[in-house]
Structure 1
């Protein structure tokens, strides 16, 4: 299990961990530790917020720093999938054509547009972070990844091969149950720490998951690793935005 833990951090982040041997046995539980990567990113995010608050920096610089840190710590692996998916969704080609676009290393116009919009909105979210919302905001990183792992284990796959299938096939049922339990715990923590804004964020996370399923099955015939990255980034943005907006309404 410890090997799987280190594998998850090596694969889904740039956080330094001891190097381990990659094998099928270790890969079995690797995806189950994806929420732990999110928890580590959330903890680093909270620490940076605390540091910048004590330095009394402006909201824009604080928002920019808090937007950049998760991308740097994750190595952009989920953002890469988000950008590829933006291109594929807006190609309006056949299902096969869209799946080919996901594998294309080139960046299209819709990826650039989608990335700019995502960064702009995330900057807005983190510029509005406050002491009363920072904890649920940091939980979004773990919750989005637990739901992403759950969907990767349960939702139909678009392809019969690839890294996503390699990671999820060996222990799908037991891993899915574990991810469902972790997601419930994280949702409870978000509601406990965020009150009504936290509850609203949990609701939007579930709605985003449902829309993700519909989009993936309808447009691509199932999920892929890139689509999982798209969902992770969208879930972070939507839940964070919900917390900020709900907190502003209830202020």
Structure 2
């Protein structure tokens, strides 16, 4: 039991270091295989990020801000916690696919830290969709539950993508992170389902997860056709697509 607890604590810390910009440090050398094993804790970190966004929405709503402004505050704190890691991936992938004529050029554009017109448009539309969906949910308690569930589900899908698809580059961070074992992916998926069912109910929760999974795998499929596989930016774009469509599904189910 004590060994299992330490293992989970290690993976949660590693996932938080990997997915957020919290002032956390790893003591000593980064163990081999930790990137892969820590992916089971991705939904836990995602749920925490969503909870922070929900708390900010609750406070903003409580002091009288309208739903749209409260939603902007919630999305802003999530981006602050993650360093806009996933949003950056969405913008980079849009720039690469929109501006490159062949695979090599697309990958080259995606490595460029500058944002282009395609990336700017994708980023604006993605933020608008999230803010609009959160504002449409409206109720602070329901919004917090939706953000916890969407944060967990969208990140739990990443281990499935890295298992099913191959990396586009052999020297990228996504490639060196390693392919997680099936048990890691299934554990992440189980945690996401649990979070969704507890937070928003069986029907809406399972429907939202199914739509989010379709969105994430759709992004990865496009990347395989266009790039030959996934990159860190592709995973970020997939997470954003999954979160957006999860929230939109909840709005449609209301």
Normalized against structure 1, the TM-score is what? 0.87
Gaps of at least 5 residues in structure 1 are none
Q: Which residue of 2 aligns with 1:236?
A: 243
- State the shift of 1:187 in Å: 2.2
- State the shift of 1:241 in Å: 1.3
Q: Which residue of 1 aligns with 2:3?
A: none
Q: Which residue of 2 aligns with 1:135?
A: 145
Q: Following superposition of structure 1 onto structure 2, how do residues 218-233 of structure 1 map, counting pairs within 5 Å?
A: 218-233=225-240
Structural RMSD (CA): 2.1
Runs of at least 4 residues off by over 6 Å: none
CA distance in 2, matches of 1:188, 1:7: 22
CA distance in 2, matches of 1:210, 1:27: 21
| DSSP-derived class of the 2:99 partner | coil
Q: Following superposition of structure 1 onto structure 2, how do residues 9-20 of structure 1 map, counting pairs within 5 Å?
A: 9-20=16-27
Distance verdict in 2 for CA 1:137–1:27, change over 3 Å? closer
| Higher alpha-carbon deviation: 91-100 or 131-140 | 131-140
Spell out, residue by residue over 1:101-145, the C-alpha distance to the aligned partner (whole angstroms, 9 max, x if none).
111122111111111111111221121232345313321111111
Q: Which residue of 1 aligns with 2:208?
A: 201
For the pair 1:159 / 2:165, whether they are aligned, the reply is: no
CA distance in 2, matches of 1:111, 1:33: 29
Instruction: Select the residue among 32, 36, 50 that pairs with 2:58.
Output: 50
- State the shift of 1:229 in Å: 0.5
Instruction: Select the residue among 70, 73, 81 that pairs with 2:81.
Output: 73
> Number of residue pairs matched?
243
For the pair 1:180 / 2:186, whether they are aligned, the reply is: yes
- Contact residue 84 and residue 102 of structure 1 kept, 8 A: yes
Distance verdict in 2 for CA 1:189–1:6, change over 3 Å? closer
For the pair 1:23 / 2:33, whether they are aligned, the reply is: no
Spell out, residue by residue over 1:47-96, the C-alpha distance to the aligned partner (whole angstroms, 9 max, x if none).
22332333232112111111211111101111111110010111251112
Q: Which residue of 1 aligns with 2:91?
A: 83
- Contact residue 30 and residue 167 of structure 1 kept, 8 A: no
- State the shift of 1:4 in Å: 4.0
CA distance in 2, matches of 1:106, 1:57: 34
Distance verdict in 2 for CA 1:3–1:186, change over 3 Å? closer
Gaps of at least 5 residues in structure 2 are 1-6
- Contact residue 37 and residue 184 of structure 2 kept, 8 A: no
- State the shift of 1:207 in Å: 1.4
- Contact residue 197 and residue 205 of structure 2 kept, 8 A: yes
Q: Following superposition of structure 1 onto structure 2, how do residues 206-217 of structure 1 map, counting pairs within 5 Å?
A: 206-217=213-224
Q: Which residue of 1 aligns with 2:118?
A: 110
